[in-house]
Amino acid sequence: METPVISLPEFTALYGKYSRQFMDIAFSYLQDRQEAEDIVSESFMAFWNGREDAPLANNLPAYILGIVKHKCLDALRSRESNERRCRNIYQQACRDAQVRVLQNDELTQKLFQDEIIAIFERELAKMPARTAAIFNASRVEGKTYKEIAESLGIPVRTVTREIQNALAQLRKSLHDYLPVVLLMLTLPR
């Protein structure tokens, strides 16, 4: 048996009877009257355009309401995605602005630099003498691990371990300043 196609007068009556209720339901999802009206209209149009393929049972309102709900959920997902994208753009713009301020503010750079140097010197003074000497020879004097090992008469592996210990201690003390340190290292001089 062939499925009967809904006529235009029946469709108009269906729209007149249920559109207001469907708008209220859509509004409860979206909290936006205009968007709810648009979705209900689109849902009825989607049904009308696909009416020949739609299962025309005795419960067309439930079928159309299902379309409304799906379109509401799609709109909410899209809204959430847009909000997330806007939030990410805003956060990136804030970070970029902060970097520009730091880059353009010589006084801030000088204050951070002085504070970082003070922490660096304090931490270096806390290190065992051999660790501090090895670190200075590597990072300040620019000697290779092999040169340091030969000058101190110790294995290269010991130099590597002492440098790692020094870096770990400095990293722990300077963790709040790492973004600034990285910024200062990348600034043109």
pLDDT band (50, 70, 90) for residue 32: very high
Structure tokens at 88: 């990410």
What type of residue sits at position 95?
Answer: R
Q: Which pLDDT belongs to residue 52?
A: 80
Pick 136 or 2 by higher pLDDT. Answer: 136
- Same domain? 90 vs 113: no
Token duo for residue 113: 């630099």
Residue 106 confidence (pLDDT): 63
Whether 13 and 86 share a structural domain: yes
Integer Cα distance of 37 and 65 in angstroms: 13
Higher pLDDT, 59 or 45: 45
Choose the final residue of a domain: 67, 94, 121: 94
Structure pTM?
0.48
Q: Are residues 51 and 123 in the same domain?
A: no
Is residue 84 a part of any domain in this protein?
yes
- Angle at which helices 178-186 and 60-104 cross, to 10°: 60
Q: Is 56's pLDDT higher than 80?
A: no
Q: For residue 158, is pLDDT > 90?
A: yes
pLDDT beyond 60 at 3 = no
CATH of the domain at 111: 1.10.10.10
Q: Residue 185: its pLDDT value, please?
A: 47
Q: How far is CA 46 from the centre of its chain?
A: 35
Q: How does residue 2 score in pLDDT terms, banded at 50, 70 and 90?
A: very low
CB burial readout 75-106, b (16+ within 10 A) else e: beeeeeeeeeeeeeeeeeeeeeeeeeebeeee
What burial class does residue 174 get, using C-beta atoms within 10 Å of its C-beta: 0-12 exposed, 13-18 middle, 19+ buried? middle
The alpha-carbon radius of gyration of the chain (Å, integer) is 34
Confidence of residue 26 (pLDDT cuts 50, 70, 90): very high
Pair (44, 82) in one structural domain: yes
Residue 178: inside a domain, yes or no?
yes
Please state, rounded to an integer, the average pLDDT across all residues of the chain.
82
Q: Which of 92-96, 111-115, 127-131, 136-140 has the lowest mean pLDDT?
A: 111-115
| Total of domains in the chain | 2
Which residue range(s) make up the domain with 68? 8-94
Final residue belonging to a domain, choices 33, 66, 94: 94
